[in-house]
Amino acid sequence: MPIDDTPELGFASLAVRAGQQRTLEGEHAEPIFATSSFVFANAAEAAARFSTATGNIYSRFTNPTVRVFQERLAALEGGEACIATSSGMAAILATCMALLKSGDHIVSANAVFGTTVSLFNQYLAKFGVATSYVSLSDIAAWEAAIRPETRLFFLETPSNPLMELADIRALADLAHAHGCLLVVDNCFCTPALQRPFELGADLVIHSATKYLDGQGRCVGGAVVGDRQRVGVDIYGFLRTAGPTLSPFNAWVFLKGLETLSLRMRAHSEGALRLAQWLEAQPAVARVYYPGLPSHPQHELAKRQQSGFGGIVSFELRGGREAAWALIDSTRLISITANLGDAKTTVTHPATTTHGRLTPQERETAGIREGLVRISVGLEDVADIQRDLERGFQCLASYPGPFSAREEATLR
């Protein structure tokens, strides 16, 4: 079912149907085309496909299962074209390699995925692409960081792990006024909760590893955008350099997309209930969740997102010792750095995802020792609360390093 013929379909219908073209076998579910190459009827057909790069040729850059995933994700984001990649990082690399050249400059939010910072600073820098970092929500800082050679704005919203938001519309306007592209890593919200193109973004990046899969099985990624930049330029990089998504992983993500809106709604409902409950815990100094009225950007979140997402972070009064004690007391929740899974996961950002930062950098970024991040899964929220309750009971008898005065400053 080519998506162009079905413009009237809603999001949930596109998530189930977009991109599928049945073969002569009449299969109902999308097949996995586990083949590295494709046969041609004759030499002339082979020559024609190679010269136009259309039709099935070789699975580094053309595979029908991968194509269905690309068309479905493009339909959900509302973009013209999508290129799937072997990981979320490969999607960011492919975007930069295809669209930037030596001498170009990126302005990035400082609160982006740690490996993205490493990619920019250790690798792109080697090839003459410099990156400046600014506070996600400080529009004036973005503007001040623009240079004549700036080509790209890069951000994630909400950010990891403090759930800070960027005003996508405002940053898109600023980027365009200076001839730059706005790239949004839409990993935390997915198109089920946030559609960056409607707010002016030019490219959307995904780590499909997270919510698009939704069950923690495969690593993959994607870039969505317009026909020229994604369909030609980034496709050309993929074809040449080969950070290709496997057909099997594409199929897993395709099946993940079918339940995406249901899952994101359930993750959001669970996370809101957990966040409200956490706010009432005496051991908790502060909860970071855009769905809470206490979140400084709650109004922006209501405007920009259709749900608040599944990630909740919170600051324990007892610092690292309390955070580790709480994490270690869990029996149901998985201690793992991955997120976006049906299984609830917990992590201590200061010593894992943000462990490479210096203490000073962590302090500036607001990643304190007492911070805990939870990716709320699809279990019963009551069971997640019970699992944390045991840890909170231990903490009640534990004084913690903060005095009452220090606590007041945390509030």
Ligand X SMILES: *Cc1c(COP(=O)(O)O)cnc(C)c1O
Q: Where does this chain bind ligand X (CB under 6 A)?
A: 87-89, 113, 116, 156, 160, 185, 187, 207, 209-210, 219, 221
Return d(Cα 160, Cα 346) in angstroms, integer.
Answer: 13
Q: How far apart are CA 219 and CA 248, in angstroms?
A: 11
Name the residue nearer to ligand X (CB basis): 186 or 281: 186
Smallest gap from residue 183 Cβ to ligand X (A): 11
Of 200 and 216, CB closest to ligand X:
216
Between 134 and 284, CB nearer to ligand X: 134
Residue nearest ligand X by beta-carbon distance: 88
SS3 32: coil
Specify the residue, 214 or 221, whose C-beta has the smaller distance to ligand X. Answer: 221
Q: How far is the CB of 87 from ligand X (least distance, A)?
A: 3
- We find the least distance from the C-beta atom of residue 219 to ligand X, in angstroms, to be 5
Question: What is the distance between the alpha carbons of residues 11 and 78, in angstroms, rounded to a whole number?
Answer: 10
CA dihedral 212, 109, 170, 220 (to 10 degrees): -20
- Give the list of residues 6+ apart from residue 409 with CB closer than 8 angstroms, or none: none
Q: Cβ closer to ligand X: 104 or 213?
A: 213
DSSP string across 351-378 = GTTTTTS-HHHHHHHT--TTEEEEE--S
CB of 186 to ligand X, least distance (A): 9
Query: Residue 367 corresponds to which tokens in the numbers above?
Result: 């990643």
Burial of 143 (0-12, 13-18, 19+ CB in 10 A): middle
Q: Taking every pair of C-alpha atoms in the chain, what is the biggest distance, in angstroms?
A: 80
Beta carbon of residue 191, minimum distance to ligand X (angstroms, whole number) = 15
Toward ligand X, which CB reaches closer, 76 or 339? Answer: 339
Smallest gap from Cβ 76 to ligand X, in A, equals 17
